[in-house]
Structure 1
Amino acid sequence: MHVAQELVASLDKLASLPSVYYRVRQALDDPDISLNTLSDLIGSDPALSAALLRLANSAFYGYPRRIETISRAISLAGLEQVGDVILASSIAATFGGIRPQRMDMARFWRGSVRCALLCRGIAQTQGSNDTERHFLLGLLADMGHLVMYHAIPDLSDLVMGTAGMSLEALATRERQLIGCDFAEVGAALAQSWRMPVSIGATVGEQLHPESAGEYSQGAAVLNIVRRIDEMCEAGASLDDTIASLPESILVLGDIETEELPSLIVHCEAQLHEMLASLGIAAS
């Protein structure tokens, strides 16, 4: 049997995010940072530069002329969107060499980015001033599976073949056959990256938010967006998707049901462009 920390520790490459992420993140948090300084910092990393330029030139923004400079891309996208792209690109780069043969990587990244966009959207409707934290939560929600498929591919494949489609059934089978579930591994990954305790705790409690204590609201939001992602992948209608969401978890997450249809549609519109900006195929 395995423990979550052991699986994360087995992957040396995942010890930390790229250092440029922390430098850019610090710059974005500085209210006095100049556009030129930020542009130079992002421009020092070819992958980050390419991701930001791809997003700025995407159909989502629909700018009539091609954006060719980092400074113009920042001005067009805005600092919040820049932060999201930098974070997603850094995590994608960290996992870039991990390509488990038995895992549907297009489905994995599509779900991760969809959950990140939904988490951020819900946070915005709730008036949060820390939407990047919520984007990060959504992005990390299923990272445990990527770690597990790389560290213990045979066991992970066995679980996937017997657990059915629901996250709860999958996690139960993982605990039975492996000794820990994907949420626990995701929490251990966040801890190894020295992220705030609240991030790891929320990711780890996503399957049972009612027991998450002070992190219950965030865990409930994460639980809801994972359910929405499952329904979207199944091709369900908006009405069926909303109707499938447990009322108790919606209340715990302080989520207004009437705002979800337009939010889901908006996030789906963003999804392809965000994936494209990261150089990830949508399907």
Structure 2
Amino acid sequence: MHLAQELVASQNHLASLPNLYYKVREALLDQDLDIGDLSDLIAADPAITGSLLRIANSAFYGFPRKIETLSRAISLIGLDQVGEIVLASTLAAAFSGIRPHRMDMGRFWRGSIRRALLCRQFARSLGERDAERAFVVGLLSDMGHLVMYHAVPDLMGIVLDTAQDGLLAQAEQERSIVGCDFTEVGAALCAAWHLPASIGSVIACQLTPEQGGEHSAEAARLNLAISMAECLERGESAGASCPLLCDAAPDLAGVDLALMPVFAEHCEAQLESVMTSLGVS
């Protein structure tokens, strides 16, 4: 974990998220939150404001009239979704200038957003109260790779040239060649950003959810989302026959595999709209 922390620390521009994100997160935790005050806070960032308005006016929501004010957009989208959009917009901006050699950024963002959307759907299907947290976990789950490709591009090039197919094999090769894998770097990034420690714990055990202790179920849902997202990226059906990273994931997650086609359909219906709104399409 020490090496993972060093890789994160070497990327000065990623050492912390913009203050606005923390202010918005704090505001959303306030039981007496005033929509007008939140609107004023978010309006300080034109990029995030634009993302919220684009999403509110997207085909996914299908509101009959154009939404022109931030306060109206927040009211219609809902506070949970606002938190998700603010984080996604913040990450898109933080990584906007990063174009690592041999890393397909379009594929990276599609995968990250698919994971986030699927994790949120899993949480909602199980009646979890904090679906926004599930979205955040999915969105952050592969950020470790972005750091690694940028911090140690030559070593990651060797990993790509020598690893067998599949995320598990690549992670093993990362540990062998770099000294840590993307899950460790992702967890270190969460710590550097002062996100809840439990989020970093889930990301750290996303490939081995059975070792996640109290976070096993959440890590298993993320593991399942990764499997589904990879199927969708390959153009395959993300149903019960989708190859799994971890065979124990469905049982640990408590997710009904029979519902996978429905989850996949909902995910794909939202994907392009979210990517376009965030400017990462």
TM-score per shorter chain, which class?
over 0.9
Q: Tell me the SS of whatever aligns to 2:248.
A: helix
Name the counterpart of 1:111.
111
Aligned pairs for 1:151-170 within 5 A: 151-170=151-170
Identity %: 55
Please report how far the alpha carbon of residue 165 of structure 1 lies from its aligned counterpart in structure 2 after TM superposition. Answer: 3.2
Give the whole-Å Cα distance in 1 for the aligned partners of 2:101 and 2:67: 36
- Mapped to 1, the partners of 2:133 and 2:43 lie a distance apart of 24
Q: Find out whether 1:190 has 2:205 as its counterpart.
A: no
SS of alignment partner, residue 207 of structure 1? coil
Larger relative contact order, structure 1 or 2 (CA cutoff 8 Å, min sep 6): 1
2:91 and 2:12 mapped to 1: Cα distance? 15
**Is the CA contact (8 Å cut-off) linking 2:92 and 2:279 kept in structure 1?**
no
Residue 204 of structure 1 corresponds to which residue in structure 2? 204
Pairing 1:175–2:175 present? yes
How far apart are the structure 1 equivalents of 2:3 and 2:143? 16
Structure 2's unaligned 5+ residue stretches are none
CA drift at 1:139: 0.8
* Contact 2:92–2:280 under 8 Å retained in 1: no
Q: CA deviation at 1:247?
A: 4.6
Shift of 1:243: 4.2
Q: 1:23 matched to which residue of 2? A: 23
- 1:140: which partner in 2? 140
Deviation at 1:63, TM superposition (A): 2.2
CA distance in structure 2 between the aligned counterparts of 1:218 and 1:17, rounded to whole angstroms: 24
Q: Note the residue ranges of structure 1 that are not aligned, 5 or more in a row.
A: none
Are the equivalent residues in 2 in contact too, given 1:74–1:82 (CA < 8 A)?
yes
> Aligned ranges for residues 244-259 of structure 1 at < 5 Å?
244-245=243-244, 247-259=247-259
- 1:261 and 1:80 mapped to 2: Cα distance? 25
SS at match of 1:128: coil
Q: CA RMSD in A?
A: 1.5
* Cα distance in 2, alignment partners of residues 19 and 99 from structure 1: 24
Q: How big is the shift at 1:141?
A: 0.8
2: CA distance, partners of 1:262 / 1:278 = 24
Instruction: Detail structure 1 runs of 4+ shifted over 6 Å in the superposition.
Output: none
The alignment covers a number of residue pairs equal to 279
Distance 1:81 1:138, change over 3 A: same
Match of 2:48 in 1: 48
CA contact (8 A) 1:242 1:260 kept: no
Match of 2:92, SS state, is: helix
